[in-house]
C-alpha cells in the first residue's frame, strides 16, 4: 500500500465507498489522486479496504458503545453548548424519515468515535461527498474544533422526503458546496443558500470511448436501460411503453441493467403486460459489462419520475456515458436530465405518460439516419465540453485549495 503524500491532508467522507452503483465517486477519487492531493478516505457505513493504493477506513459500529457510555457524558461536561444544540435539534423537529434520522445519527456517531484519531494529524479540509451522514460528521467536527469542511449536495440530499434533516445548518457553514447539476443549484438558492457558495462541477469520464458506428439497419431496435430498480426510475412506465410498442407491431429488443427492491414487481408487471420475452432483466453488472451493453444498444431509455418520497434523479451518469459512446438517448423531462439531453440537439425528450410519444421518437431513431447522426454528434460534443473528468477535477481541486486557505 502506498504511503500518503506529504502536505495538507483532505479527509474524504463517504457513506459507502467503494460502491458498485457509485462508480462516479471512484472516478472522482482517482482523478483527485492523480492531481497529487494527500487524501484520507473514510467509509461510514459499508465499503472499506483499499482503493488504488489508498486505505479506506471503515467504521466498526461497536465503537458506538463506548461513545454512548463514556464519550457523550464527557462531552456534556466539556462542550455543553454543542450537546445542547444537538439534542435541541433532535427533539424539536421531526426527521423527514427514519432512514434520514439514522443517517444523521451515523454521521454524528462517526464524528464522536474518530475525532481523537484525527486530532493527532488534523486535516486541512473535511469533505463530505453527500449532505447526509458524511456532511454531518464534518459539521460536528467544525463545531468541536473549527476544522474547515465542505459538502456535496445532490438530488437525494435535496429532494428525498423534502431534503436532509439538517441540510441548511450543514450547508450554511460549509466552505463550498459541490453540486453536479444546475437544477440542484437552483433549488438550493431558492432555499436560501448563497449562489456564490455553490459550485456546479459535473462528474466526468477519464477517457472518451470511440464513437461507435450507427447500425445501418436498426430493426429490431436495440433498447437498453441502466438503472436501479427503484421508484424514481419510472420503470413501470417503461414497461408500459414496451407494451405499446409490441401492440403497434414495433420490432425491438430491450435489456434492463440493475437490481433493486422493485425487481419482483417489475418482473410480474412485464409478464402481465406480455413483454417478458422482449424485455430481459440482466441484474446488476460491473462497469465493464455495462459498457458492453452500451456497445450493443442503439438507444438508451431513461424514464425517470418524481418518486412518492419526493426523490428524483439529478443527471444519471449513464446518460452522458451513453452519449459519449454514440448511443442515442430518449429521456423524460424530470430534474436535470435535460441539461444533457436537449430536445432535437443531443437527444429526444418525452413524457412517460405518453407511450405514443416514445413510439414516435423510437421510430425516428430507427428510420432517420440523418437525425440519428446529427443527435449523436451533438451528444458527443456536449459530453466532451461538459463531462471531461480531468477538466472538472481541476475545478474541484481549485475549490479544495481555496477552501484550505487561512
Which pLDDT tens digit goes with each residue over 216-254? 999 999 999 999 999 999 999 999 999 999 999 999 999
- The pLDDT of residue 84: 74
Mean pLDDT of 4-15: 79
- Strands, E assignment, 69-144: 125-128
How far apart are alpha carbons 33 and 39 in whole angstroms?
7
Q: Are 48 and 56 in contact (CB under 8 A)?
A: yes
Cell 472518451, residue located: 208
pTM of the model: 0.88
At 260, list the grid cell: 433493486
Mean predicted lDDT score pLDDT of the chain: 92
Q: Residues 331-390: pLDDT tens digits?
A: 999 889 999 999 999 999 999 999 999 999 999 999 999 999 999 999 999 999 999 988
Residue 398 pLDDT level (bands cut at 50, 70, 90): very high
How far apart are alpha carbons 375 and 365 in whole angstroms?
10
Q: What is the CA radius of gyration of the chain?
A: 23
- The pLDDT of residue 299: 98
User: Which of 3.30.413.10, 3.40.50.2000, 3.30.420.40, 3.90.1200.10 would CATH assign to domain 221-386?
Assistant: 3.40.50.2000
Same fold across 9-204+388-403 and 221-386? yes
How far apart are alpha carbons 370 and 254 in whole angstroms?
24
**What angle (nearest 5°) sits at the alpha carbon of residue 202, between those of residues 336 and 191?**
55
Helix, strand, coil % (nearest 5) of the chain? Answer: 50, 15, 35
Residue 72 pLDDT level (bands cut at 50, 70, 90): low
Q: How many CB atoms within 10 Å of residue 112?
A: 21
The structural domains of the chain, with segments of one domain joined by +, span 9-204+388-403, 221-386
At 17, list the grid cell: 465507498
How far apart are alpha carbons 113 and 134 in whole angstroms?
14
- DSSP letter at 205 equals B
Handedness of CA 276, 319, 192, 393 (dihedral sign): positive
Decide yes or no: CATH 3.40.50.2000 for domain 9-204+388-403: yes
The H helix count followed by the E strand count for the chain is 16, 14
Amino acid at each position: 500500500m502506498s504511503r500518503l503524500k506529504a502536505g495538507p491532508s483532505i479527509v474524504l467522507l463517504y457513506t459507502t465507498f467503494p460502491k458498485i452503483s457509485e462508480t462516479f465517486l471512484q472516478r472522482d477519487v482517482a482523478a483527485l489522486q492523480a492531481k497529487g492531493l494527500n487524501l484520507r478516505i473514510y467509509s461510514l457505513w459499508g465499503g472499506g479496504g483499499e482503493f488504488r493504493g489508498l486505505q479506506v477506513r471503515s467504521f466498526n459500529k461497536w465503537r458506538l458503545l463506548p461513545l454512548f457510555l463514556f464519550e457523550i457524558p464527557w462531552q456534556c461536561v466539556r462542550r455543553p453548548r454543542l450537546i445542547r444544540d444537538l439534542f435541541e435539534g433532535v427533539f424539536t423537529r421531526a426527521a423527514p424519515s427514519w432512514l434520514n434520522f439514522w443517517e444523521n445519527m451515523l454521521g454524528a456517531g462517526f464524528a464522536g468515535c474518530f475525532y481523537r484519531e484525527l486530532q493527532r494529524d488534523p486535516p486541512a479540509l473535511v469533505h463530505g461527498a453527500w449532505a447526509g451522514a458524511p456532511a454531518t460528521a464534518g459539521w460536528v467536527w467544525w463545531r468541536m474544533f473549527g476544522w474547515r469542511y465542505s459538502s456535496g449536495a445532490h438530488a437525494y440530499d435535496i429532494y428525498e422526503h423534502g431534503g436532509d434533516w439538517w441540510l441548511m445548518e450543514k450547508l450554511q457553514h460549509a466552505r463550498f458546496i459541490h453540486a453536479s447539476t444546475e437544477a440542484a443549484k437552483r433549488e438550493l438558492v431558492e432555499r436560501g443558500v448563497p449562489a456564490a457558495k455553490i459550485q456546479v462541477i459535473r462528474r466526468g469520464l477519464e477517457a472518451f470511448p470511440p464513437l461507435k458506428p450507427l447500425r445501418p439497419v436498426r430493426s429490431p431496435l436495440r433498447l437498453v436501460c441502466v438503472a436501479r430498480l427503484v421508484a424514481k426510475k419510472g420503470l413501470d412506465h417503461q414497461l408500459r411503453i414496451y407494451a405499446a410498442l409490441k401492440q403497434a407491431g414495433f420490432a425491438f429488443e430491450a435489456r434492463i441493467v440493475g437490481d433493486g427492491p422493485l425487481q419482483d414487481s417489475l418482473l410480474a408487471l412485464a409478464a402481465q403486460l406480455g413483454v417478458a420475452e422482449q424485455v430481459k432483466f440482466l441484474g446488476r453488472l460491473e462497469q465493464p459489462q455495462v459498457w458492453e451493453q452500451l456497445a450493443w444498444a442503439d438507444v438508451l431509455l431513461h424514464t425517470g419520475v418524481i418518486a412518492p418520497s419526493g426523490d428524483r434523479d439529478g443527471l444519471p451518469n449513464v446518460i452522458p456515458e451513453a452519449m459519449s459512446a454514440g448511443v442515442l438517448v430518449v429521456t423524460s423531462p424530470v430534474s436535470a436530465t435535460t441539461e444533457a439531453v436537449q430536445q432535437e440537439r443531443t437527444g429526444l425528450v418525452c413524457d412517460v405518460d405518453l407511450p405514443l410519444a416514445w413510439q414516435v421518437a423510437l421510430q425516428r431513431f430507427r428510420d432517420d439516419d440523418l437525425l440519428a447522426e446529427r443527435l449523436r454528434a451533438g451528444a458527443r460534443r456536449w459530453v466532451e465540453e461538459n463531462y471531461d473528468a480531468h477538466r472538472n477535477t481541476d475545478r474541484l481541486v481549485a475549490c479544495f485549495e481555496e477552501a484550505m486557505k487561512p
